[in-house]
Every structure is written in C-alpha cells, then in structure tokens.
Amino acid sequence: MSLARQSAAVAAKDVRIEIRGRYALGAVVPFAATVLIAFGLSLGPDRTLLQRTAPGLLWLAVLFASVLSFRRSYESEGEDGALEGLLLAPIDKAAIFLGKAAAVFAQLVVLEAVVVVLVTGLFGLSLGASPATLVGAFVLGTVGLAAVGSMFGVLAESPRAREAIFPLLVLPLATPVLIAGVKATALAVAHRGGEAHGWLGLLLAFDVVVVGAGTLVFGQLLED
C-alpha cells in the first residue's frame, strides 16, 4: 500500500471519528467564538480599531482553537491505546502524520469558515474584493498549522505534564503562519490582494519545510 493510500486510510478514519463525535462543532467552534467576543470586549466598541485589528484577531482565534483540535486528534488514539496499534502496524509511520494532518486540516477549514463569518459580523470586516488571496491565505496557512500541530500532538497524548508543553511548542513554531496569514488577509480585505503573493509564497515555503521535515522524522516520535 502506497504512502498516499495509507495516509488516506488514516485520514478517513479520523474524519469519521470527528463526524461521529462532533467535537469541532461542540467545543472548538464555540471556543473560537468566545475568544472573538472576548477580543471585541477588551478592545472596546470603537469600530475602526476593530476593523483594523480584525485580521489579526481572526488568526489568533483560529490558532488558539486549533490547539483543541490537535488535542482531540490524539485523544481518540489514547482512549484504548490505539496509537500503539498504529505504531505496530507495518505502515510507513509518516502516513500517520500525513493522514492526521489532513483530517485536522479539514476540521480547521470548517472552523475558519465560521470564524470568518463571525468576524465579518462582529468586527465589520469586508470580504468582497480578493477571494482568491483570502482562500489562498487560509488554505496555505492551515496546511502549515495542521502539520505542526499534528506532529507534536503526539507529545500531548500521554498523561503527566505534557499537555502544558504542547502549546508552548506549537505556537512559536507556527509564528510564520500567524504573521503571513494575517498580512495576506489584511491585504485581501483592503482590496490589495495582488500584493500578497510574497506572503503566500512564504506560507508555501513554510508548508513544504514543515510537511517535509515531519514526513522524515515523525516515526521517531512514536517509538519507545
């Protein structure tokens, strides 16, 4: 079975579990909404300020909420020790990484769609002008984010103090996603989507590097 098919099997399994458990709807999206409302309250009712900061707040909400998604992705592996089952299977361990990243990617994209709608309403963000840039920013940014989170989510699976380490590790490493994502989104919203190709290129480079590195070394995280 090729790497692609193995990854697809893992991804399909994760997606099916997510649909059954409805964790994204039940916990992740409400958390993002709560975060956004908190942002709005803390920055005050000045409309112009909120509009200017909206792209940043949007990505921050996604970033924080994504931590929940990554945890959940590995929680289902931890309930009955299924992760060990994946380790002991004669599949390329990178398929576990790629499959889980793909499944989380799908979840995060759904989350982002909801967050974008919320931000449009709460902060008066206008989405019209450069949909291609906007979509590009979210897709490329989410690939990188999903890769980083799915890689280190392994550390969050077992008990002990590991859960606190996970955000500390992931958020700094995901800095390029935050910076480039926000910049590209801000340009798209300001009808200057054409200028964003540098940022999109950066996101692409980040994606290639992180997915590539993960594919090579992920297996090492599983062995004991």
Partner 1 sequence: MASRTTDAPSIASHPDAAAPVPAIALSGLTRVFGVVPAIVRIDLRIGPGEVVLLRGPNGAGKTTLLRVVVTALSPTYGSGSVLGFDLVRERDQIRRRAELLGHRTRLYEDLTGRENLRFACSLYGIDDRGVDEALERVGLGEAGASRVRDYSQGMRQRVALARTILRRPDLLLLDEPYAGLDGGGKDLVDSLVVEAAGEGRTVVLATHDAARGSMAGRMLFMDGGRLAPVPDPAPVAR
Partner 2 sequence: MSTAERLMAKMTARRGERALGAAALMGLTATAVFGLLVTPPDADEGNVFRLIYVHVPSAWLAYLSFLVVFVCSVVYLVTKRIRWDRLAAASAEVGVIFILLTLVVGSIWAKPTWGTWWTWDPRLTTTAVLFLVYVAYLAVRRLPDGPGRRARWSAVIGIVAFVDVPIVHLSVAWWRSQHQAPAILHVAPRMAASMAAALIVGVVAFTFLYAYLVVLRLRVGRLEERLVAEALSPRLEVTPAHPAALPEEVPARG
Which residues, numbered 5-24, are part of the site for partner 1 (CB under 8 A)?
A: 6, 9, 13, 16-17, 20-21
Residue 2 contacts partner 2 per CB under 8 A: no
Which residues, numbered 102-121, are part of the site for partner 2 (CB under 8 A)?
A: none
Residue 168 contacts partner 2 per CB under 8 A: yes
Contact window for partner 2 (CB under 8 A) among 14-22, 106-114, 127-135, 160-168: 160-168
Residue 86 CA to residue 5 CA, distance in Å, equals 15
Residue 160 contacts partner 2 per CB under 8 A: yes
Among partner 1, partner 2, none, partner that 206 touches (CB below 5 to 8 angstroms by kind): partner 2
Closer CB to partner 1, 2 or 42, in the complex: 2
Answer for which of 155, 157, 190, 197 binds partner 2 (CB under 8 A) is: 155
HEC profile of the chain: CCHHHHHHHHHHHHHHHHHHHCHHHHHHHHHHHHHHHHHHHHHCCCHHHHHHHHHHHHHHHHHHHHHHHHHHHHHHHHCCCHHHHHHHCCCCHHHHHHHHHHHHHHHHHHHHHHHHHHHHHHHCCCCCCCHHHHHHHHHHHHHHHHHHHHHHHHHHCCCCCHHHHHHHHHHHHCHHHHHHHHHHHHHHHCCCHHHHHHHHHHHHHHHHHHHHHHHHHHHHHHCC
Residue 211: CB minimum distance to partner 2, A: 11
Tokens for 173, please give them. Answer: 């490493």
Residue 87 contacts partner 1 per CB under 8 A: yes
Q: Which residues bind partner 2 (CB under 8 A)?
A: 148, 151-152, 155, 160-162, 165, 168-169, 171-173, 175-176, 179-180, 183, 198-199, 202, 205-206, 209-210, 213-214, 217-218, 220-221, 223-224
Q: Which residues bind partner 1 (CB under 8 A)?
A: 1, 6, 9, 13, 16-17, 20-21, 76, 79-82, 84-91, 223-224
